[in-house]
Amino acid sequence: MAQYTGWRSIFWINLPLSALAAMTALRLKPASGTGSYKTDYKGTLLFVLGTLSLLLALSLGGHQLAWMSAQLLGLVTLSVVCFGLLWVVERSGSETLLPPRLLANRVVWRAALAVLLFASVLFGLIVQLPLFLQAELGVSTAASGLLLIPLTVAQVVVSTATGLRISSTGKPRNAMLYGLAGVSVGFAALVAILRSGAIPIAIITLLIGAGLGSIMPAAQNMVQWAAGDRDLGEATAALSFSRSIGGVLGAAITSAVLLAALHTGGQIASLTNSTGGASALHASAALSRGFLWMFSTLGVLALMATITTWSLPNIDLSKPQGQA
User: Domain map of the chain by residue range?
Assistant: 39-98, 99-269+277-324
- Measuring CA to CA, which residue among 201, 177, 195 is closest to residue 306? 177
Give the gyration radius of the chain's Cα atoms: 22
Which tens digits make up the pLDDT trace of 79-132?
999 999 988 888 876 677 777 788 788 898 999 999 999 999 999 999 999 989
Measured distance CA(74)–CA(160) in Å, rounded: 43
The H-assigned helical ranges of 68-197 are 70-92, 100-103, 106-137, 141-146, 149-169, 173-192
Report which DSSP code applies to 37.
-
Compute the average pLDDT of residues 9-18: 92
Asked if the model's pLDDT at residue 302 lies above 70, the reply is yes
CA angle centred on 41, ends 36 and 45, rounded to 5°: 145
Measured distance CA(38)–CA(180) in Å, rounded: 39
Of 29-33, 81-85, 125-129, 199-203, least confident by mean pLDDT is 29-33
CB-side exposure of 113: number of CA atoms within 13 Å?
Answer: 18
290: phi then psi, degrees, rounded to nearest 5: -65, -40
Q: Is residue 277 left, alpha or beta, with left meaning phi > 0 and alpha meaning psi from -120 to 50?
A: left
CA angle centred on 154, ends 151 and 155, rounded to 5°: 85
Measured distance CA(86)–CA(319) in Å, rounded: 33
> What is the per-residue pLDDT for 272?
46
Which three-class secondary structure state does DSSP give residue 103? helix
Neighbours of 175 (CB within 10 A): 24
Measured distance CA(299)–CA(37) in Å, rounded: 43
CA angle centred on 184, ends 122 and 243, rounded to 5°: 30
> What is the per-residue pLDDT for 281?
44
Measured distance CA(152)–CA(243) in Å, rounded: 17
> What is the per-residue pLDDT for 92?
77
Measured distance CA(58)–CA(52) in Å, rounded: 10
The better pLDDT of the pair 184, 320 is held by 184
Asked if the model's pLDDT at residue 35 lies above 80, the reply is no
- Measuring CA to CA, which residue among 205, 221, 84, 240 is closest to residue 165? 221
Of 110-114, 195-199, 200-204, 214-218, least confident by mean pLDDT is 195-199
252, 241, 151, 313: CA torsion to nearest 10: 110
Any residues with CB less than 8 A from the CB of 261 and at least 6 apart, and which?
286, 287, 289, 290, 291, 293, 294
Percent of the chain exceeding pLDDT 90 equals: 40
> What is the per-residue pLDDT for 195?
82
> What is the per-residue pLDDT for 278?
45
Measured distance CA(132)–CA(227) in Å, rounded: 41
pTM here is 0.82
Q: Specify the CATH superfamily of domain 99-269+277-324.
A: MFS general substrate transporter like domains (1.20.1250.20)
**Average confidence score pLDDT of the chain:** 85
Measured distance CA(262)–CA(131) in Å, rounded: 15
Strand partners, 65: 61
Which tens digits make up the pLDDT trace of 239-292?
998 998 899 889 888 888 887 777 665 544 444 444 444 444 444 677 788 889
> What is the per-residue pLDDT for 230?
79
